Structure 1
Amino acid sequence: MKKVLKLITSLILATLITACACSSCAPAQDIEDYIGPQQAAFFNNLKSLCGKTFVGETVYPEDPDHDFAGKKLVATVENCGARNIAIPFSVGEDTSRTWVITATYDGLLFKHFHQNPDGSHHDVSFYGGFASDYKGQKGTAYKQYFPADEQTAEMIPAAKTNAWMMEFNPETKELTYYLERHQKPRYKAVLTLQE
């Protein structure tokens, strides 16, 4: 059953990425030519981790009733293509989430793909945004900010002020996933590279 679900997930992701390729993210010779040097460096640094797994936990909020509280978090960098990377993100036994990062002509795009336990497409899925400056901070080769895009605001009105941040620290080997809403902390997870 797990193999079937993984195959279905792969097919859905391939369909979403192909659909994107047919619109604004057709391939170019060098992604730096259309997403800029910092975003390209971030993408390539993540891509260099392909096949690697990170394990960690929620560090904020410290609410024992939070859905992710006390659960093991696992993110594996996989399905690394010329302009897209898929990172399945599991929370305890829940393997319904995948982060998708795509180099498009409009910039680096970060989306959250969700599926139901049976492998079918979840009603609230593929939300996120394009990399850009956030609160005066610019993205770097190891850290990028992704404010919510219009599609996300329409899909989840409460999330229209969301801004996600993803960072890989090459010294500590930690991957940080961070979310703000209304410019205030909402969620943070820190995962460590498993050597």
Structure 2
Amino acid sequence: MKKTGLIILVAFLSACQHKPVNTKATFFENLSSLCGQVFTGYSTFPDDPKHDFAGKLLVANFSECSAEEIRVKFVVGENHSRTWVITQSDKGLLLKHDHRHEDGTLDEITNYGGWANENGTTWQQHFQADQETADLIPAAATNVWMLAFDPQSKVLTYDLKRHDLPRYQAKLKPK
């Protein structure tokens, strides 16, 4: 009788153990749930009227999604040259910035970004500049981009830090 009770207790405790959450994969799933949605907003930092994005309407359009990639067209005012590309692979979660000219050809400064580090959650990830970025834009070698979505407020946040200091931030809400 004692042996049966012990087996039941071990089975019960084994069933109660929680498997660790893969925050990067869950973040990708959560971000994928935004596919087809459009968010609008404005820059919240820096508060500088001379900044390129100052006063311009920002639009983030979750336009294309697959099991491995999310493409978010990021429009600044009338400029449609930017797309955020979030890719999920065996190596992890990668954020790249695809910049194009009006005719669709690649801009000279494109494909910069980096891999998600270990500081993320299921609704927020931090992407550290990769070597390709450091080679392309040496000043951006310390960049860390952050993408976050708050499911309660429905706010999408895009944030950039350089040398651990705030450099840019935008907050957008569903259109």
Segments of 5+ residues of structure 1 without an aligned counterpart are 1-35
The one-letter code of the counterpart of 1:95 is: H
Displacement after TM superposition at 1:78 (Å): 1.9
Q: 2 CA distance for matches of 1:128 and 1:189?
A: 17
Alignment pair present for 1:66 and 2:13: no
Given the alignment, which residue of 125, 135, 151 partners 1:170? Answer: 151
Partner-residue secondary structure (3-state), 1:51: coil
Displacement after TM superposition at 1:118 (Å): 2.0
Q: 1 CA distance for matches of 2:106 and 2:129?
A: 21
Partner-residue secondary structure (3-state), 2:64: coil
The one-letter code of the counterpart of 1:130 is: W
Number of aligned residue pairs: give it.
155
User: Aligned ranges for residues 184-195 of structure 1 at < 5 Å?
Assistant: 184-194=165-175
User: Aligned ranges for residues 21-170 of structure 1 at < 5 Å?
Assistant: 37-133=22-118, 138-170=119-151
Normalized against structure 1, the TM-score is what?
0.78
Q: 2 CA distance for matches of 1:168 and 1:76?
A: 14
What's the CA shift string for 1:151-173, capped at 9, x where partnerless?
10001000000000000000110
The one-letter code of the counterpart of 1:161 is: T
The one-letter code of the counterpart of 2:65 is: C
Q: 2 CA distance for matches of 1:141 and 1:78?
A: 21
Normalized against structure 2, the TM-score is what?
0.87
Deviates more, 1:117-126 or 1:148-157: 117-126
